[in-house]
Structures are given as C-alpha cells and as structure tokens.
Amino acid sequence: MNDVVLKELCLADGLSGYEKEVTRVMKKYMAPCVDEIRYDNLGSLVAYKKGSEPLKVLLTGHVDEIGMVVRSIDEKGYVHPHQLGTLFAHSLGAQEVTLTTREGKKLKGIIGTHAKDPQFQLNKDTIPVQDQIVDFGVYSKKDLEDLGVRIGDPITPSGYYQELNHPDFVAAKAWDDRVGAGLVVETAMALKDVKVAPDVYFAGTVQEEVGLRGAKTVGQMVEPDISIALDVYPCNDTTNDPKGEYALGKGCTICLADTSSIAHTGLVQYLEELCEKHGIAYQETMISRGGTDSGELHRVGKGSVNVSIAIPNRYVHTQRSIINRQDYQSALSLLVEFLKDINLEKLQALLASKQ
C-alpha cells in the first residue's frame, strides 16, 4: 500500500461530475507504466497496457466521492446545499468542508443548521441534509459572490489521511472509492515491466455514486471480456451481526452478489483458487443494499465475465472512514497474480463453465 499515492488520491476533491483532480493524480502515476491513456466523454480515464493475446481485461475504481453542490446562497451568506450521492445527515453536523470555485479557489466552511429554539435542536431529530447550511464565515451573500462562489460549485469533506494507533489501520476521507482508484494505479505500477497475455485497461470511472454512469460509458468504450470493479463494502465488525462477520484485517473481499450484479461463478472460483495458491487472505460477502460498477460492466455487449473485489470499510459514506492495510495489500496481490495468470485459454474455460 503506497501511502504517497493513496494520500494524494484521498486529499483530491472529486465530487460526482467534478472528478478531474482525481483522474489527474491517476494519470500522473500511471502514464509511465502503460502504452496509452484516453478518456471517455464524461471524463473517465482509461489507461491501456498491451498484452500478447486477443483478450481484454478491465479494472475499474470509481473516482467520485459523495458531497454537495451549492443550491442557493441566502442574504446572510449561508449556503444551502443539494446533495450528490448518499449522505448520512446525522454525521454532517459541525464537519469541515471544502468548496472549490470555478477558478479553482478552495474555501473552508462548516456544516451547521439554522437555530429554531434556544436549545439549537439538541433534542430534536436529525436535520435533513437539504435543511442544513454551510457556513463559510462571511457577513453576506455578496461576500461569498466576491470570493467567486456560484450556484453549482462542489462542496466536499475537507481532506484527511491519518494512520491510526495500530499502523495497519488508516482513516481518510473518500476511501469510497479512492481505494479502488489506488488499486488500479498500484496494479498498473506493479505490472510496468511485466509481460501479460491480456490487453489490460486500468480505469478511473466517474459518477458511480449517482448511477454507475462512468462504468457504462467505459464498458461501452472498452468492451471487456473480463471486468473487475474495485470498491469498498461496509463491514459489520462493530456489531454482533447474526449474518456473520465481515471484518477489517481478514483480507480483501470477493463479492458474490449485491443489488446490482451477481458475480460470475467461474471467475469467483478461479480467484479463490489463486488466493489459496499464493496464500492471499480473502473473505466472501453479499450485501443487500448498494452496488458497484459491476452493475453496468457485467452487461456490456454479449456480457462481460465479471466480479467485484472490495476492501472492508468502517463508517462508509461519512467524512472519516477506516480501512486496513493488510486487506488492501491482499487485493493488490490478487489482482497482480490474476493478470499474470489469465490468458485466452482460461477465458474460454470460464465461458464454458456457464454452458
């Protein structure tokens, strides 16, 4: 796990529809490792490494994060936000955020609420996101406008990247899905001087949090034989979940099913056999809410042999979430071994396993 790469990715601001800070970081690190870099028309980045056989493998990590845009500014200078992606209103109060103007200026603000009684809502229910405000510490609407703030400007959680008390645990903003973006980048770096059979496409997809949109356009652009979406899944190791524990520190996750896709059973078996062969820790899971880029990738063209590989994540979709280095490293090791092992003959065997 390369902290230099991951920190730069996490500190970049990349709300859905405003992702170019993140794709520029990916491009910087992948350009020396691949044969070509291209973009789709939405802004998704695709880096291409030529292989020796007529086989296409696509890895995706989505680059967008949850956040807000400026919906309106009142006369006192408070910003009223519109959310993009799923925000948890109860986690937002008093959090620091960063607004990026169209000129690229960064402004710090604090999420608050309008006080409706002397107790400042202390005993009330959670204030819905659309009823919260962002306080940028100004006197008036004109003050904000003079700073360059306009309707539609993106607002994201302020940057954070911190190793915790055990060095395996790292907290950051936007692990969803800078984890996937990091795995895409580090896999390309690891294979820089390695000859592989497939043509490999390393993608940073946009607008996943608002509907898997970049996955659809990248899938149409590449038309992969095999596609792997890299993301985070919310773990349940802080509770006694009767469905079983999905925990930090027990390896990456091979995702059998979520609400958007069912993993290709032949590919799941292949990946698990690689894990056993190379001593790579892994878990299996299914989730009943949410999905990944796989929701679009698996149905490209005649269908792509597809799976999602995820990293367990505590406190997903909040300003600060936690992952484990060992889980990240297990995913990276699995991806590298897979791309070194897969070839056209093995793809044909995967396809035959469904017939």
In a domain, 266, yes or no: yes
Tokens for 272, please give them: 């698990």
The enclosing domain of 347 has a CATH number of: 3.40.630.10
Helix (H) or strand (E) holding 3: helix 3-11
In a domain, 193, yes or no: yes
Whether 215 and 334 share a structural domain = yes
Q: Considering 19, 21, 186, 208, which one is annotated as catalytic?
A: 208
Q: Is 145 annotated as a binding residue?
A: no
In a domain, 114, yes or no: yes
Q: Is 166 annotated as a binding residue?
A: no
Q: Is the pLDDT of residue 198 over 70?
A: yes
Whether 118 and 34 share a structural domain = no
Burial of 277 (0-12, 13-18, 19+ CB in 10 A): exposed
Whether 312 and 220 share a structural domain = yes
Whether 117 and 261 share a structural domain = no
pLDDT at site 129: 85
Considering only CA atoms, which of 327, 334, 329, 341 is closest in space to residue 307? 334
Total structural domains within the chain: 2
Q: Is 62 annotated as a binding residue?
A: yes
Q: CA-CA distance, 251 to 248, in Å (whole number)?
A: 7
In a domain, 47, yes or no: yes
For 296-351, how does the pLDDT look when each residue is reduced to its tens digit (9 = 90+)?
999 999 999 999 999 999 999 999 999 999 999 999 999 999 999 999 999 999 99
Q: Is 209 annotated as a binding residue?
A: yes
Whether 204 and 304 share a structural domain = yes
Whether 151 and 288 share a structural domain = no
Whether 188 and 307 share a structural domain = yes
Residue 125 confidence class, pLDDT cut points 50, 70, 90 = low
Whether 190 and 313 share a structural domain = yes
Helix 265-278 to helix 325-341 angle, to the nearest 10 degrees?
A: 110
Assess contact for 253 and 237: CB atoms under 8 A. Answer: no
How far, in Å, are 62, 98, 263, 338, 347 from residue 341 at the CA level?
A: 25, 43, 19, 5, 11
For 226-254, how does the pLDDT look when each residue is reduced to its tens digit (9 = 90+)?
999 999 999 988 877 766 678 999 999 99
In a domain, 162, yes or no: no
Q: Would residue 2 be called left, alpha or beta, if left means φ above 0 and alpha means ψ between -120 and 50 degrees? A: beta
Tokens for 34, please give them: 């691949």
Burial of 315 (0-12, 13-18, 19+ CB in 10 A): middle
Whether 60 and 102 share a structural domain = no
Domain boundary pick from 97, 127, 157:
157
Whether 73 and 199 share a structural domain = no
Q: Is 231 annotated as a binding residue?
A: yes
Whether 48 and 9 share a structural domain = yes
Whether 258 and 242 share a structural domain = yes
pLDDT at site 127: 80
User: Is 223 marked active-site?
Assistant: no
Which amino acid, one-letter code, is at 65?
Answer: E
Q: What is the residue range of 261's domain?
A: 3-65+173-352
